[in-house]
Chain A
Amino acid sequence: MRVAIALAALTLYAQSPPVTYERLLNADREPGNWLMYSNTYNSWRFSRLDQIDTQNVKNLRVKWLFQGRHQEKFETTPLVVDGIMYLTRPENDVFALDAETGRVLWTYSHKNPEKTYNCCGRVNRGLAILGNRLFMNTLDMHVIAIDAKSGRELWKTEMYDYTESGGYAATGAPLVVKDKLIVGMAGGEHSISGFLDAYDTATGKHLWRFHTIPQPDEPNFGTWAGDSWKTGGVATWNNGAYDPESNTLYWGTSNPWPDYNGDFRAGDNLYACSVLALDPDTGKLKWHYQLTPHDTHDWDATQIPILLDAPFRGRPRKLLAWAARNGFFYLLDRNTGEFLLAKNFVRQTWVKGFDDKGRPEVIPGNEPTPEGNDQVFPGVDGAANWMSHSYSPLTRLLYVFAREERRVFTKTAIRHADEDVATPATVGGREGGGRGGGNGIFGAGGNLPADPAAGGRGRARFAPEESWGKVVAIDPLSGVIKWEHKVLTPPWGGVMSTAGNLVFGGTLEGVVFALDARTGERLWYFAGNERVYASPISYLSNGKQYVSLAVGDVLVTFGL
């Protein structure tokens, strides 16, 4: 008996193959799994599965539901590894599910304090995996490693004091590069000082920190007037991309603080609203490109970077495509940071043109004003936000679920760190929490009448017809829009394209759709009837293709 038990102990965890770094590098060769937030390191959010295609998608139906039973926005991107789905549910709960049936295998729960300091809801966007370890960031600024088989906590590291300087939080999915975990943070609405961190995946030990605001004696320190650099914001709250060939990590940064009042932070405010190219081994900056110098519109550059290789103006280039919150699609050389082109994909009022270096020539009159400037496009929540775009190598088009939105920019008084701006644990329901709510269906930005049951918060300033959403298919080499598919309301969900020539996504009213990736024609829909605040994934279970997307507080999985 003793021998038998000892043998059992030896074989523990030795069975299903762990997710090695090699597997992550070659994630596109196992399309049945979804191994990282954007599926592959180039962030295409493209599935090579083609069982569901333009011919049979009309037969797509619900296979199973995962009932989240939570009022907060459900922004997760699940991972799928060899038949098991791992996902986060607000606030920081982790579930392992049987990917065939949705039945729960284990759960893990991290309890946050009553007060956390997130701007826009007590949300989480997902996990990373390496070996048998799952990784999650928390609202109270911890990084946690969880055993993928048992759901047991393996290590927990505090990134930073979440209460400091008005408040820090972490809501994005982390990214594994080699043996390191790259972790961003949120808090650009507060007088914080942003950074991007790396941790040892085995031990949780902190390895490096890149300060998104240059410290004294560092290059570009002088882009902030006076002491404004100390409290300049610049968070890193979404996910990034990685190019193994050049060993470069790409990550976007948020707005400078204060968001809508730039008076005391004269200068370009680097590296706010920028694309960063970093060495993942050391955290050293290789190059940067600032999309919006001296931003006063909260136009974060925290979109997901898309990496692609293609001939451009006669020679092969390593490219980085970026559809930004400020309304412009950008194409850069990702090895050098060279600006190649920019073209708006929504209405815009603030740029006349770009110089050779890609610096925008700004049109006067777009600044926020104390009484509220309602003549600025795009709106506060931007043309794009955190929601994922998708690139299909079959159509060679970039799909962006864009926001055409009319809103008001108000120059606000500067809010200091000692004011209590915490988000209470009880927040939820249809208001996003923080920043005046307004992220839900019935709040500002929604195109439906106010819901009396939800407190009746409506806005009469603009007609609903002045704001809408659209899936646009952009040719990344020219910035030209090939087609667009209009939806009722500016969206909060992302898109995924597939080898079946389909583009999946969901609207704020809960319409889950599949479009023809070549034409934008809607080929299938499902009436989910609750807000979609997430981006879809696709995977195989028992050899059959499934598509999953969070709708309301339910993760819905579709199949043929």
Chain B
Amino acid sequence: MRPLLIVIGCLASLCRAQEQTNPFDTPDSVAQGAALFQTHCSYCHGARGEGGRGADLTIGQYRHGGSDANLFTSVRNGIPGTEMPAVRATGEEVWKMVAFVKRLGTAGLREKAPGDPAAGKGVYEGKGGCAACHSIGREGGSLGPDLSDAGRRRDLKYLEESLVSPEADVPMRYRAIQVITKSGQTVTGVRLNEDDISIQLRDLKDNLRSFLKENLTEIRHDKPSLMPAYGSILNKKEIEDVVAYLSSLRGTQ
């Protein structure tokens, strides 16, 4: 029944087979898909696909299937039992959105880093001290994002920028705050949750903390990243190598 509905709903050439690959996968299509994404998807999935009311699309993992055809079906028909509606767009437009969404979770897959990943691993674990806050697999800290699949999700430019200017793009889940209590205590950490009554954070010692706002004098957001800017800590070669190491992390997918 489902294939019949799809054929009725769009041009047969655009959505003939269940496992069809995307016929609109050129850079131009991706750019057009990005614009369509802003119109149709960003309200729930965030301007950069980082999620919100809808799923985080930058992880590159999809509960309802990650093939081109699966994504096409999810966008085209919506996902029953969830808030994901059928998107009102032509078949061609849907394919272009699919092309863009696929890039969101696989931005790093098409690039080859010039640096030395083995040397970068050494810097990551040693001089950089990265594992204190970031995890790879089951090892490492939790103040910063997990990097197990950073090389699949992020392109080289993004990875380097994250090292040199960490505040350029801080995921919502890892935004740093400072709360100042009425007794004068300052607690710095990563914001986990907040409403008008209270705010929750993970402090620098990895403790989960919650504060009622009536007990605070101020909440500061002026330094959104806890990560040091590594441009002044590592030399150019070391940064290139760390980028190469991060680029080699492709997760389990």
Q: Give the CA-CA distance A147 to B133 in the complex, in Å.
A: 15
Q: Which residues of B contact A104 (CB under 8 A)?
A: 192-193, 200
Q: Which residues of A contact B206 (CB under 8 A)?
A: 12-13, 15, 149-150
Knowing A16-B207, A105-B192, the reply to whether A8 touches B132 (Cβ < 8 A) is: yes
Q: Is there an interface contact between B131 and A9, defined as CB atoms closer than 8 Å?
A: yes
Knowing A6-B129, A98-B200, A152-B138, the reply to whether A103 touches B210 (Cβ < 8 A) is: yes
Q: Give the CA-CA distance A11 to B205 in the complex, in Å.
A: 6
Q: Mark A367-406, 1 if CB is under 8 A from B, else 0.
A: 0000000000000000000000000000000000000000
Closest chain B CB from A436 CB (angstroms): 23
Q: Which residues of A contact B186 (CB under 8 A)?
A: none
Which of chain A's residues 125-147 have a Cβ closer than 8 Å to chain B?
147
Q: Which residues of A contact B138 (CB under 8 A)?
A: 152-154
Identify the closest chain A residue to B198 (Cβ): A101
Which of chain B's residues 144-159 have a Cβ closer than 8 Å to chain A?
none
Q: Which residues of A contact B193 (CB under 8 A)?
A: 98, 103-105
Knowing A104-B193, A149-B208, the reply to whether A98 touches B129 (Cβ < 8 A) is: no
Q: Give the CA-CA distance A83 to B210 in the complex, in Å.
A: 9
Q: Is there an interface contact between A15 and B205, defined as CB atoms closer than 8 Å?
A: yes
Q: Is there an interface contact between B198 and A103, defined as CB atoms closer than 8 Å?
A: yes
Closest chain B CB from A84 CB (angstroms): 6
- Most chain A CB within 10 A, of B132, B135, B194, is at B132
Q: Which residues of B contact A96 (CB under 8 A)?
A: 208
Q: Give the CA-CA distance A426 to B81 in the complex, in Å.
A: 8
Q: Is there an interface contact between A149 and B132, defined as CB atoms closer than 8 Å?
A: no
A357 contacts chain B at the CB level, 8 A cutoff? no
Q: Which residues of A contact B127 (CB under 8 A)?
A: 2
B197 contacts chain A at the CB level, 8 A cutoff? yes
Q: Give the CA-CA distance A151 to B118 in the complex, in Å.
A: 30
Q: Which residues of A contact B233 (CB under 8 A)?
A: 1-2
Q: Which residues of A contact B63 (CB under 8 A)?
A: 111
Closest chain B CB from A144 CB (angstroms): 12
Closest chain B CB from A18 CB (angstroms): 12
Which of chain A's residues 285-327 have a Cβ closer than 8 Å to chain B?
none
B142 contacts chain A at the CB level, 8 A cutoff? yes
**Chain B residues bordering chain A, tally (CB within 8 A):** 28
B66 contacts chain A at the CB level, 8 A cutoff? no
Q: Is there an interface contact between B210 and A101, defined as CB atoms closer than 8 Å?
A: yes
**Chain A residues bordering chain B, tally (CB within 8 A):** 30
B212 contacts chain A at the CB level, 8 A cutoff? yes
Q: Is there an interface contact between B195 and A103, defined as CB atoms closer than 8 Å?
A: yes
Knowing A2-B127, A149-B207, the reply to whether A100 touches B212 (Cβ < 8 A) is: yes
Within the complex, which residue of B133, B135, B210 is in contact with A100, where a contact is CB–CB below 8 Å?
A: B210
B172 contacts chain A at the CB level, 8 A cutoff? no
A5 contacts chain B at the CB level, 8 A cutoff? yes
A221 contacts chain B at the CB level, 8 A cutoff? no
Which of chain B's residues 49-80 have a Cβ closer than 8 Å to chain A?
63
Q: Is there an interface contact between A100 and B198, defined as CB atoms closer than 8 Å?
A: yes
Q: Mark A91-106, 1 if CB is under 8 A from B, else 0.
A: 0000010101101111
Closest chain A CB from B106 CB (angstroms): 21
Q: Which residues of A contact B192 (CB under 8 A)?
A: 104-106
Q: Mark B112-140, 1 if CB is under 8 A from A, else 0.
A: 00000000000000010101110100100
Q: Is there an interface contact between B200 and A105, defined as CB atoms closer than 8 Å?
A: yes
- Most chain B CB within 10 A, of A12, A104, A426, is at A12
Closest chain B CB from A104 CB (angstroms): 5
Identify the closest chain B residue to A425 (Cβ): B81
B141 contacts chain A at the CB level, 8 A cutoff? yes
Identify the closest chain A residue to B206 (Cβ): A12
Which of chain B's residues 220-235 have a Cβ closer than 8 Å to chain A?
228, 233
Q: Is there an interface contact between B198 and A98, defined as CB atoms closer than 8 Å?
A: yes
Q: Give the CA-CA distance A426 to B80 in the complex, in Å.
A: 10
Q: Please give me the 3 A-B residue pairs with the lowest Cβ-Cβ distance, nearest first.
A: A5-B129, A150-B142, A9-B132
5 more A-B contacts (CB under 8 A) besides A100-B210, A105-B210?
Answer: A1-B129, A11-B205, A12-B141, A16-B208, A103-B198
Which chain B residues have a beta carbon within 8 Å of chain A's beta carbons? 63, 81, 127, 129, 131-133, 135, 138, 141-142, 192-195, 197-198, 200, 202, 204-208, 210, 212, 228, 233
Residue contacts A-B, CB under 8 angstroms, 29 given: A2-B233, A5-B133, A6-B132, A8-B132, A8-B133, A9-B129, A9-B132, A9-B141, A11-B205, A12-B132, A12-B206, A13-B206, A16-B207, A84-B208, A98-B198, A98-B200, A100-B212, A101-B210, A103-B193, A103-B210, A104-B193, A104-B200, A105-B200, A105-B210, A106-B208, A111-B63, A149-B207, A149-B208, A152-B142
